[in-house]
Amino acid sequence: MFSRQFDKAVKVGGAVAGATGAAIFLIVYFSMWNDNADVGYRPQQPVPFSHKMHVGTLQISCQYCHAGVESSAHSPIPSTQTCMNCHTLVKAESPKLKVVRESFESGQPIEWVRIHKLPDYAHFNHSRHIRAQIDCKSCHGPIEEMGVVSQFKPLSMGWCIDCHRKPESGIIGARPISGVFTGRMHNVKNLKDSAYIFTSIEAQIGKSTPMISPSYGQMISPLPAHVVAGIPHPKSAGIGPETCSTCHY
């Protein structure tokens, strides 16, 4: 009834349409579905901790709880002792703090549910980015406005590469609330008193030059001359490296 050419065209067309549909489905599924992209991921924690209350209202610096982030490759989860520094007296009998009190008395750490997680084959150094005065908000979003913290950025390879290539498009300059160095390296706008503590600060992007020729994505930014007591040499945020070995080794 049908010619061989028509029959072949139907088979090839069906195969192409099926492959195209499968490809579109996979792209949409892995790029948009929260279980894979993780944007908006907001697990229930063992303790109802509100960043909006502690950071936004009480203005407790990020680095008070996440101590050592400017010198450690990983951002530490605050210990129970850090919580009890305040809650030995503040709301000491609150039922919401039962898990915290039990952890403090037993010495067993609280099993917080991790939100921001990179694949095991990728490495991210917090201290390097903090010393470049890249504010926490650049990656974690407006934490001070979150009652329950959720993942704000995709943390994908493409997202990181985009920021390395065009840092001015993704970097938010260090703010006082983060506890990151906020001295002469940034132009502070409208920051007149504590009421404007969350006002955006314009990030200063350092001049970057190729380390080798051709650069293969390896760039270097000069360190400033001045030194800040107690803090490693702060530097301008520059064009980040794009070599595979920077994050995969």
Output the tens digit of pLDDT for each of the chain's 249 residues. 567 776 777 778 888 888 898 888 877 666 655 454 588 889 999 999 999 999 999 999 898 999 888 888 888 899 999 999 999 999 999 999 999 999 999 999 999 999 998 888 899 999 888 877 788 999 999 999 999 999 999 998 889 998 888 887 788 877 778 877 555 444 434 433 433 333 444 555 666 777 777 776 677 666 554 454 555 555 666 678 888 888 887
**Unique residue bearing structure tokens 């067993």:** 108
**Assigned domain for 13 exists:** no
Residue type, 127: S
* Predicted local distance difference test score (pLDDT) of residue 229: 53
Query: How much is the pLDDT for 83?
Result: 94
Residue type, 84: M
- Residue 226, pLDDT score: 41
Number of domains in the chain: 1
What pLDDT shows up at residue 195?
37
Quote the pLDDT of residue 225.
43
- In this prediction, residue 203 carries a pLDDT of 57
Among all chains, which residue has been given the structure tokens 């061989």? Answer: 4
Note the pLDDT of residue 39.
Answer: 86
Q: In whole angstroms, what is the distance from residue 220 CA to residue 110 CA?
A: 41
Residue 201 within any structural domain of the chain = yes
The answer to whether residue 93 is domain-embedded is no
Contact status, residue 151 vs residue 34, Cβ threshold 8 Å: no
pLDDT for residue 187: 43
Domain extent, residue 232, equals: 51-77+112-242
Indicate whether 221 belongs to any domain.
yes
User: Of how many residues is the chain composed?
Assistant: 249
Specify the 3-state DSSP secondary structure of 187: strand
Kindly report the backbone phi and psi dihedral angles of residue 52, in degrees, each rounded to the nearest multiple of 5, phi listed first: -60, -40
Question: Which residues are CB-contacts of 130 (< 8 A; sequence separation ≥ 6)?
Answer: 69, 70, 180
Give the C-alpha separation, 193 to 9, whole Å: 72
Beta-sheet strands, E only, within 83-229: 187-188, 201-202, 209-210, 219-220
Is residue 3 a part of any domain in this protein?
Answer: no
Asked if residue 206 is part of any domain, the answer here is: yes
Residue 202 counted as domain residue: yes
Establish if 102 belongs to a structural domain. Answer: no
Confidence (pLDDT) at 200:
43
- Find, among 224, 117, 127, 220, the residue nearest to 180 by Cα: 127
